Amino acid sequence: MEHPTNHSAADKHLDRRWLKRQIGVWRSLALVALTVLATVLALRYIDGGPSDGFSTGPHIARLSIDGVIGTDSELLSRIDKLSKNSDVVAVILRLNSPGGTYAGSEALYNALRTLAEAKPTVAVIDGVAASGAYMAAIATDRIFARAGSITGSIGVIMQMPNIKGLMDHIGVGYEAIRSAPLKATPTPFEDTSAASRVAAQDIVQDLFDQFVERVKERRTLAATALDIVTSGRVFTGKQAMPLGLIDALGGETEATGWLEQHAEIAAGTRVFDAKSKDEAIQFRDLIERIGGTRFFGTQPMLDGPLAVWQSTI
């Protein structure tokens, strides 16, 4: 029979080991929390200023548009705040986007036009600014692009898969009771009728005409150049220059130089990123930077006509 004193000593020893393990776990969690907090605070001061871009003192705000464009109320609000912030003396719009929904691109264009009327605003095309992103670029006072940047793709597209053949093959039927023949058409579940195709083409053509009118209003293009650039194709920055799609080759250095020379911006004015003040968004960005993109959907749902360039490479 085990002595009670020895049993009690063993229990105390196990309790101490358990307590040490718990302290170790909590220390590890605290260290992780402090690391995340320190990283978020550090991100707020990248480029010498807070991440919202609304620092004290005159500065140039860098507004970045990345990925597919949709209707983004937070982005539109941020642009509005830039136009009203007296510390922001100019804005550099950095673009790296294939475009997106037509409505989202139109909303972004209108917001940028209001901004450009309040502050000198220039666009810098990074990797790509095509279709709806090019619409955003022409809202600014001047467009810069690198020789190897991709731009253009002035056009509109409506598309959907047609799975009727697959449904017929596996024996799945589809029925729709409509108030009129063109209601909810075209649909991927049946062949597109001639009338439905005409109606869809009318929508695409109307939106395309609106796009072209914006290009004609904002860019001085010869008739021959206009025919070329509205064919829907993309161009390199080097090709876009003689066509009048962009104003100059270069990046942010050339853009700030132009602002200093033509917009009376003091030489050496610092450039700060204009990011969201929302700490939740900052934390999401942080998680995505360290490989957490699988937890957040990065491909938005695209509903409606698109002004987007889709590479088939």
Do 108 and 136 sit in the same domain of this protein?
yes
Residue 216 placed within a domain: no
Please indicate, yes or no, whether residues 24 and 80 belong to a single structural domain of this protein.
no
Highest-pLDDT range among 38-52, 88-102, 153-167, 189-203: 88-102
Tell me, yes or no, whether 145 lies in a domain.
Answer: yes
Catalytic residue numbers read 131, 183
For residue 246, is it within any domain? yes
Q: What's the Cα-to-Cα distance from 302 to each of 32, 68, 141, 157, rounded to whole Å? A: 37, 9, 29, 12
252 assigned to some structural domain: yes
Q: At what angle do helices 102-118 and 194-218 cross, to 10 degrees?
A: 10
Say whether pLDDT at 47 is over 70: no
The answer to whether residues 143 and 250 belong to one domain is yes
Q: What is the rounded CA–CA span in Å between residue 235 and residue 218?
A: 18
Verify that 239 and 152 share a domain, yes or no. Answer: yes
- pLDDT of 53 above 50: no
Indicate the average pLDDT of the chain. 83
Query: How many domains, in total, are found in the chain?
Result: 2
Give the separation between CA 230 and CA 128, rounded to whole angstroms: 17
- Report the share of the chain in percent with pLDDT over 70: 73
Flag whether 118 is in a domain.
yes
Tell the residue number behind the tokens 């017929």, with chain if given: 168
Span 69-113, pLDDT tens digits: 999 999 999 999 999 999 999 999 999 999 999 999 999 999 999
72 and 148 belong to one structural domain = yes
Domain shared by 35 and 58, yes or no: no
Model pLDDT for residues 128-170, shown as the tens digit of each residue: 999 999 999 999 999 999 999 999 999 999 888 888 888 888 9
Task: Give residue 188's pLDDT band: very low, low, confident or very high (50, 70, 90).
Answer: confident
More confident residue, 214 or 311: 214
Instruction: Please tell me whether residues 16 and 120 are part of one structural domain.
Output: no
Q: What are phi and psi of 273, to 5 degrees?
A: -70, 135
Domain of residue 141 covers 49-156+231-308
More confident residue, 10 or 102: 102
Q: Are residues 144 and 105 in the same domain?
A: yes
The pLDDT tens digits of the residues spanning 232-276 come to 999 999 999 999 999 999 999 999 999 999 999 999 999 999 976
CATH number of the domain that residue 253 is part of: 3.90.226.10
- Assess whether 125 and 71 both reside in one domain: yes
Return the minimum-mean-pLDDT range out of 62-71, 122-131, 170-179.
170-179
Question: Are β-strands 271-273 and 150-152 bridged in parallel, bridged antiparallel, or unpaired?
Answer: unpaired
